[in-house]
Structure 1
């Protein structure tokens, strides 16, 4: 592998948390061996049955030999994980795709034009999440949903939120939807001369839904990808715990003016704490010059290139959405008006990936059930895989492009 001229990456973020968790897993595994030998956890009912099954085989094990083998395995796992981390941190890949032309902007928000002017397909306003960079939709050559849509003759316009500036740090969701997003819609409608399709991904789907409810005459079709709606449909206890955590941390976040990237990453980490340990251990076995390694690095770079969330938005999302389940209870309001999917009348597509760890399948399918006549597709992919994974072109991009390019009255 050619040495990289760039400084080492700081990720995966937050790196101390990932290292600390890995060390805890290894040391607790080592510490558990004497307890297993003595069957001392047997007083805990969930462990009683498995320990009884292990009792006889364990009596036949040479304690010193097993202890040595366990130490060897733990050292091997630690070495693979740390080797994977270092390979990633020093990998020469860097994203080099240029930003597409800006056709409108306000504050830190920019509207970028994809596709060929005059192309036969419809115009599509694409709304990403506020908590990650918009370029996940244009990640790398061959892994760009937006270039795929443009190649099919559609004309996408991407809302690039960027990081909040001094003005945006005071924004709530009303400011983003009724202010910035409606202004972006006005710009696209003016350029195109009429109503346009709107596509939202993840949290951007909720913003796109609110926009369509407010501006139904300017939105001819609506596509919602991996969009959360019923935050208590699965893992309701976890959702309430996130809200409780925010309530504790809110005085600090209000003082900072935003929810910092590393704290956001900690929330995502809580969904699957050992994910980084598994990912980077597997990455250590890849050919660093191969396509799989480059795809891994491209995606990890995006994951670690997050943006902070304005404090008022963080409160609405974590307390009102996760804690109180406001959207599903029809209690979420934008500029004083309830965001009610039952009021939508334009053709709507909901894509709810089956393997989504971030937006549970039941949370997204609840939105499809709430929209009259919505079309539901459930690809066998994950939250990010549906956008930038190897299976995305066939399972998501192609059917999405076909649906967006359907006639106004088609389902």
Structure 2
């Protein structure tokens, strides 16, 4: 193929440079998949992705995002949308969105998700799906990413009677001792105690969104340090620019952590590593046992995930009865659900698992 004329090349570079500048409109405009809002209550907005053809799968899927992360993680951009993948596979697909988190939400803890947000969404999804004439639906397939998987696991363990047909957890750490990035926090907790560690967030009512965004960027220092050079090198590659800008926009939309939830994450999950012990203490008089989970569970992890590496996720098979693990090595934390190679490395693991669960339920 002959090389493009110099004037064309320079024109493309100039247009892209302007598009990614503070004055430009970006190299790609993506408003997300069309969706219908079914319920719009605070911190539990439920939407159903629109379809042009009837769903072919009998069970609906509920996408469960993490705390302090934009629900856009499941529909980042064209070609990097787990939601679009599920809809395209004939599955009725739903999303629960927690919205903005502020100081007024500081009392929201794990219990809010485990006893209210997720059970309510599961029942609403199943009712809506059956209203569409799919009476054969016997439960909801939960698909969670990171702490979304954690909340899904705790919900399934707390309420075994919920109509949960299966649970797929992408990048959900179970053994926090395996994650190098959190070891300084664990060491500091041992030295000065949990109360001192969470005191600043107690005053602030949680972790402000700006700190969450900065922390996420800090987990990939090489990307942040070389981003300007990366953009400059790819001025002629509109697709590469669109991927980079989409990630930046995604990080920029991250909300904050509510105070109580962050305290539980620090003390229960990180400092005391309770998920790996199999028993998570939501309060002094309430313990959730992961061996109470009856639904089939798949953990999907990556050795190159800087936030929840493969060993920390794989530990789930030792804690959750009958759980399986699928490796999607080479992907980042966000890449597990929204990377350009996720369709080949991680989504296929979920597809195979959901198909196997469907067959097992028919036996």
TM-score range, shorter chain: 0.7 to 0.9
Q: Give SS of 1:164's match.
A: coil
Could you say if the C-alpha distance between residues 254 and 400 of structure 1 is closer, same or farther in structure 2, counting changes exceeding 3 Å? same
- 1: CA distance, partners of 2:128 / 2:45: 15
User: Contact (CA 8 Å) 2:207, 2:257: kept in 1 or not?
Assistant: yes
- 2: CA distance, partners of 1:306 / 1:246: 25
- For 1:310, the equivalent position in structure 2 comes to 258
Measured after TM superposition, the shift of residue 3 of structure 1 is: 8.5
Measured after TM superposition, the shift of residue 358 of structure 1 is: 0.5
- Of 280, 286, 292, 2:240 maps to 292
Measured after TM superposition, the shift of residue 270 of structure 1 is: 4.6
- For 1:211, the equivalent position in structure 2 comes to 155
- 1: CA distance, partners of 2:235 / 2:92: 37
- Of 260, 270, 290, 1:341 maps to 290
Could you say if the C-alpha distance between residues 183 and 167 of structure 1 is closer, same or farther in structure 2, counting changes exceeding 3 Å? farther
Q: Which has the larger radius of gyration?
A: 1
1:92 and 2:25 matched: yes
Q: Which runs of 5+ in 2 are unaligned?
A: 1-13, 131-137
- For 2:211, the equivalent position in structure 1 comes to 263
User: Contact (CA 8 Å) 1:229, 1:367: kept in 2 or not?
Assistant: yes
Measured after TM superposition, the shift of residue 242 of structure 1 is: 6.8
- Of 168, 173, 179, 1:228 maps to 173
- For 1:15, the equivalent position in structure 2 comes to none
1:199 and 2:143 matched: yes
Measured after TM superposition, the shift of residue 369 of structure 1 is: 2.4
- For 2:92, the equivalent position in structure 1 comes to 155
User: Contact (CA 8 Å) 1:4, 1:90: kept in 2 or not?
Assistant: no
- 1: CA distance, partners of 2:30 / 2:267: 35
Q: TM-score, normalised by structure 2?
A: 0.82
Q: Which runs of 5+ in 1 are unaligned?
A: 7-86
Measured after TM superposition, the shift of residue 179 of structure 1 is: 1.5
- Of 369, 385, 398, 2:335 maps to 385
Q: CA offsets, 1:152-189, max 9 Å, x none? A: 01111111111125653321111122111111112112
- 2: CA distance, partners of 1:216 / 1:409: 19
1:106 and 2:41 matched: yes
- 1: CA distance, partners of 2:74 / 2:188: 27
- For 2:122, the equivalent position in structure 1 comes to 185
Q: Give SS of 1:281's match.
A: helix
- Between stretches 123-132 and 317-326, larger displacement belongs to 317-326
Q: TM-score, normalised by structure 1?
A: 0.73
- For 2:9, the equivalent position in structure 1 comes to none
- For 1:409, the equivalent position in structure 2 comes to 360
- For 2:202, the equivalent position in structure 1 comes to 254
- For 1:369, the equivalent position in structure 2 comes to 318
- Between stretches 387-396 and 94-103, larger displacement belongs to 94-103
- For 2:55, the equivalent position in structure 1 comes to 119
Instruction: Provide the alpha-carbon RMSD of the alignment.
Output: 2.8
- 2: CA distance, partners of 1:285 / 1:375: 41
Aligned residues: 331
1:237 and 2:174 matched: no
Could you say if the C-alpha distance between residues 351 and 3 of structure 1 is closer, same or farther in structure 2, counting changes exceeding 3 Å? closer
User: Contact (CA 8 Å) 2:173, 2:308: kept in 1 or not?
Assistant: yes
Q: CA offsets, 1:108-155, max 9 Å, x none? A: 321111253841212011111011101111011221100110110111
Q: Give SS of 1:216's match.
A: coil
Q: CA offsets, 1:315-356, max 9 Å, x none? A: 111232212212222342347543333232322211011210
User: Contact (CA 8 Å) 2:79, 2:340: kept in 1 or not?
Assistant: no
